[in-house]
Amino acid sequence: MKKFAFLITLLVIFLSGCSISNQKLAKKMIEKYSDNQNYVTLIGEVIEINENNAVIKCEELNDYISYEDELCDYYIYSDEFVELEVGDEIKFTTVPFHFYNGHKLPIVELRIDENTLLLFEEGKENLIDWVNTNFK
Q: What is the pLDDT of residues 24-56, one digit of tens each?
A: 888 999 999 999 999 999 999 999 999 899 999
- Top-ranked range on mean pLDDT: pick from 1-5, 18-22, 61-65: 61-65
Whole-structure pTM value: 0.80
pLDDT of 77 over the 80 cut: yes
Helices 2-34 & 120-134 angle (0-180, nearest 10): 170
Can you point out the beta strands (E) in 1-136? 40-50, 53-57, 71-76, 89-94, 105-107, 109-112, 115-118
76: nearest Cα among 94, 97, 58, 64: 94
Q: What's the pLDDT score for residue 128?
A: 94
What's the chain's average pLDDT?
83
